[in-house]
Structure 1
Amino acid sequence: MSDLISFTDILERYLKARIPFISIRSSERSRVLEVVRNLAQKINIPTYVHTLSQGMRDLVHHRTVSEDRSIMGAVDFMSSQFTQRQNLTYVLTEVSDLEDDTPTARYFYDVAMLAAETGGSVVVVTSNPVWNPLARLGMSITLDVPNEDEMLTIIQEQISPYRGQIPINWTEQEEKEAAAILSGISQIEAENVIATLLAKGKIEKEDLVELTQVKDSVFSDISGLERIYIKDQELTVGGLEGLRKWLDHERPLLTADLRERGIRPPRGVLLVGVPGCGKSLSAKAIASSWNLPLYRLDLSTIYGQYVGQSEGRLKEALSTADHVSPCVLWIDEIEKGLAGSQGDSSGVTNRLVGQFLFWLQEARSRVFVVATANDVSKLPPELLRRGRFDELFFVDLPTPEERRDIINIYIHRGLKRSLDDRLLDELVRLSEGFAGADIESAVRDVVKEAFLKGDNSITVDLFRRSFQNVVPLSQTSPEQIQAIRTWGRERAVSASGRPITDDPNLGQMKRNMLYP
């Protein structure tokens, strides 16, 4: 990472040292040119910039010196000027084909050698790597998008002129939170977002939610990630009190400035356990309750047929997640994408696992990962080591109290009514061993009848038959449930805050909850 202050300091030294070739890695051309313009005035060196729209012009005085807008025309112009004058600096902003051994790269190699003889500098602003022999003629430097401190300054500069003219109800705390939300986008994108808010004629605290939505629109077409839009009726999750308490405890840390403490924001949770018990639904509920956009990383779409393609796609997807942060990144059934394959003789899967785990541990962006897994036996052991995820939760079959909550949720959603306590108690008993998905299936049958025959057709017997007709996984595959619980007892925290046992109603917890 290179913030603006360190970038400016390093670039100034490169220009004073007359480094013949300087590669600036950045996607913000205007921001780079502003820095170079200020440095050109400060150290008093003739500096010219070339663009495809305006040709070559004086960077400080905006005077056109060559109307040839082509790259090769710019190279010819630089070559002729270097032979006539000393200490010239040329900045090129739209150069392609410099990554490999191409004619363009070789032309730049020759002109950089000429610059070295006359105390000149060729500066290329690009977002791509540079051919190695050319790069070794000089130095490279990166200007990243604004960090939180720089983003805070941008926001304050945008808002300050309007204070006293329109209602602005942001304190410094809201401005800092806005800076955290907008981190990852360019200066001009941030200025456009704030200008959109100012155009309403006022800025309210509630606009922080809109900031996330507007930022999301900047990254509406994301390679490797799928934006998940959540419907309100999908958000209610029954039970899982242990997970809820942990999330409530961690939420303030996601947007807080933790740099002075030397710790990173919450990284995420791994939810393992019985299929159909709300793991995937929890990812949606977290994003909704935290007012964050939800993105789904589908690892099955990452794999490509060419060498290095899979790794490149995963790197791009994770980099994009960093840019759209703060957000929730949902990885469903992660074991299927990272479990490895006996037929994978190329080692692609192992490299993907290593790449993902490195990002998970080392990245400092505010991406909260919610990964789910059903088949715990296929999880890579490295994924379970402390430091990868903040916590590992086990989602068991719902307890009687949780089944009561889940039944009520689906009854209110589908029938818009409440059940008699005696009937509800009976359905709780009938649903012993049910997963949340099993309960949803049973209630759905009743709702279908209500839609087809009217609410008056709903009887106690219909509820009984609907629940009795469901054969849950705990009955069809009891060995699978037993194996999952055995694994969870030793390695995970209970998501419900209750013991993980062979019988979900009995037994003692092997691990205490963090926040009882």
Structure 2
Amino acid sequence: MLNNLPMSSELIERIFSLYKQNNPLIAVESPLQERISLLKNLTQKCINSGINCYMWMLEDDKLYQLRMNDCELAFSEIKEYNRIAFKVVREDSFEILRFWKTTQLQGILILEGIYPWLGQGATDADFFLTAEWIKSALINIKLYNDNSGKTALLLGSNASLKSDIAGLIPIITQELPTVEEISDYLPQILPDSITLVQINEIANTCVGMYLADIETGVKTALAIDNSELVKKVSAYKIELLKRVYNVEFLQPMTIPVGGLELMQSAFKGYKRLLTPLAKSYNLRLPKGVLLIGPPGTGKSHSAKACSQILGLPLVIVEWGHFRSYGNMAEYKLKKLLALVDRINRIIFYLDDFDKGFAGDDDLSRRLAGMLLTWMQERTSDVLIIASANNIQWLPPELTRSGRFDQIFKIDLPNNGERHSIFKIHLARFDKRFSHGGDAFTPEEWQRLLKVTHRCVGAEIQAIVERAAFSIFCQSFDEETPALEDLPPLQITLTALLESRKSVNPLAIREADRIESMRNKADLQGLPSSPVDSSIYSLGDIDIFGS
């Protein structure tokens, strides 16, 4: 008995619904890893329905009839199809389209490998002419084979069709499985000893993967042992998403944040919007949150802090990378948006959002349009956070009201915030600063904060790390002491001041550019920090850090 996979079974029913409506052409978008499962389920459905199922592949230009033999696919070559042995022009490789238009064979013909010629146009003249020939041949199939009991099923991982033919061919996309479908499938591949509670936990972890990937991940974990399955499958998923989608997937982490109290307060409000009580009042998360400000001020760190506050995973994507995909950019974005929609209850962080629009070309506008449409129509609990240095690079339609509901200005840290940031990084090396401790006098802090005026968080981190390295080198020679009896590392004010000399703050080095960013952010962004009310709020006048 063939085990039908839940997602493939649903897809088969949708295909057969269109087949019964006598559609001569159907386009199916299915990931490569699901191909065997899809073909098995489709072939079995055809057999049960008394319909012949054929398959043609570009790789060998042969026509096969698909059968099931002991739950495995069997391929029988159809001799009636006389392929062109010596192909003179590229169209000769697609002789199958002429054959299917006139043959007496009936049923479903799976055509694999045609989509590249049906997507957006190419500059190569030969490729363009071949694409036009294929399009014409498909139109003829639709005209000749209407109500003929013959359906050509175009199969591939990217069913992107040109606009002039897209209206003629219905498209079915194999979506990522739901958590319920995963839960139904997992008992087929898990040991009987796994409890229902464990199955549900594993299913929630697997959301965002196709069933074939889930099977690989689970079997890889089970090959070691049955312990910590959730942890092992989660690690497999994180690595898979990185390879397939070029994203970073982070679980909520515990991180300290220096300052930005107003923005953190807003994040805490978002958490309340995820509750059933808020939903009962039709309240929702913001459509998008935009963080703007100079580099190094903590925009990425703020997204991680939001993940911590909301308790939601974080998916990080470099928006500018989409431009490097060329004609595949829209397909890549479509798949990524489908992924975050399916995972749901996640933070989708678009890093360096402005860099994706630096070219101001048609691709940038199309990607922006896709994102805006998704932001407007989605129903999932996904919080979109985007960061930008140069807000003027963003298209106006992205920053108008109703797109990004909230825009925060992440500015240069004030004295009180720099004091907090210093203590966070000092505590990594010097235990005196841990758990609210301190080792400097207020006068010493005043001196340090004065010389680090206009330093951002990233630069403060560099200053502390360089000072720690300097103290380490002074404290130990090349011989390694006994690790069980190490003296504490104590960072001095002198070391920090010396380290500051080797850091040239960007806000001083590129003062005009940074001030321009800050001024533009002031016009559109809400403050992310309150007025500095710390004891260090007065006295930092020297903007050049001398």
Normalising by structure 2, we get a TM-score of 0.67
Counterpart for residue 279 of structure 1:
299
CA RMSD of aligned residues (A): 5.1
How far residue 282 of structure 1 moved from its aligned partner, in angstroms, is 3.0
Counterpart for residue 511 of structure 1:
none
CA separation in 2, counterparts of 1:238 and 1:500? 12
Gap runs ≥5 in structure 1: 507-516
Quick one: which of 243, 259, 270 aligns to 1:221? 243
Counterpart for residue 436 of structure 1:
457
CA separation in 2, counterparts of 1:176 and 1:245? 33
CA separation in 2, counterparts of 1:369 and 1:50? 42
CA separation in 2, counterparts of 1:17 and 1:347? 38
- 1:492 equivalent in alignment to 2:525: yes
SS across alignment from 2:408: strand
CA separation in 1, counterparts of 2:80 and 2:247? 39
For residues 230-269 of structure 1, give each alpha carbon's deviation from its aligned partner in whole angstroms, at most 9, with x where no partner exists: 9x9x95432333434444554697899x999988876653
- 1:156 equivalent in alignment to 2:189: no
Partner AA of 2:207 in structure 1: L
CA separation in 1, counterparts of 2:390 and 2:165? 50
CA separation in 2, counterparts of 1:384 and 1:336? 15
CA separation in 2, counterparts of 1:260 and 1:56? 55
Could you tell me whether the CA contact under 8 Å between 1:26 and 1:143 is conserved in 2? yes
For residues 135-187 of structure 1, give each alpha carbon's deviation from its aligned partner in whole angstroms, at most 9, with x where no partner exists: 77x64231322342xx4223333237857524564375x36633xx523x333
SS across alignment from 1:413: coil
Partner AA of 2:353 in structure 1: I
How far residue 443 of structure 1 moved from its aligned partner, in angstroms, is 2.7
Could you tell me whether the CA contact under 8 Å between 1:271 and 1:279 is conserved in 2? yes
Could you tell me whether the CA contact under 8 Å between 2:28 and 2:159 is conserved in 1? no
For residues 325-359 of structure 1, give each alpha carbon's deviation from its aligned partner in whole angstroms, at most 9, with x where no partner exists: 3565544443344256xxx6x65655554444444
- 1:335 equivalent in alignment to 2:357: no
Could you tell me whether the CA contact under 8 Å between 1:56 and 1:69 is conserved in 2? no
- 1:29 equivalent in alignment to 2:35: yes
CA separation in 2, counterparts of 1:447 and 1:293? 31
Could you tell me whether the CA contact under 8 Å between 2:289 and 2:386 is conserved in 1? yes
Gap runs ≥5 in structure 2: 1-6, 85-93, 119-129, 477-488, 539-546
Change (3 A) 1:189 1:348: closer
CA separation in 2, counterparts of 1:63 and 1:466? 71
SS across alignment from 1:371: strand
CA separation in 2, counterparts of 1:401 and 1:17? 69
How far residue 454 of structure 1 moved from its aligned partner, in angstroms, is 2.0
For residues 413-440 of structure 1, give each alpha carbon's deviation from its aligned partner in whole angstroms, at most 9, with x where no partner exists: 2445439746153344231544323433
CA separation in 2, counterparts of 1:98 and 1:442? 55
Quick one: which of 397, 405, 426 aligns to 1:411? 426
CA separation in 2, counterparts of 1:13 and 1:248? 47
- Identical pairs, percent: 22
For residues 356-402 of structure 1, give each alpha carbon's deviation from its aligned partner in whole angstroms, at most 9, with x where no partner exists: 44444445677654422334455443332344335322223435543
Counterpart for residue 482 of structure 2:
none
Could you tell me whether the CA contact under 8 Å between 1:266 and 1:390 is conserved in 2? yes
- 1:146 equivalent in alignment to 2:164: no
SS across alignment from 1:452: helix
Q: Which is further off, 19-28 or 350-359?
A: 350-359
CA separation in 2, counterparts of 1:393 and 1:374? 12
For residues 34-78 of structure 1, give each alpha carbon's deviation from its aligned partner in whole angstroms, at most 9, with x where no partner exists: 553465356443444456799522446767552669994896699
Could you tell me whether the CA contact under 8 Å between 1:83 and 1:118 is conserved in 2? no
Change (3 A) 1:500 1:479: farther
- 1:452 equivalent in alignment to 2:473: yes
Counterpart for residue 159 of structure 2:
128
SS across alignment from 2:23: coil
SS across alignment from 2:419: helix
Could you tell me whether the CA contact under 8 Å between 1:266 and 1:366 is conserved in 2? no
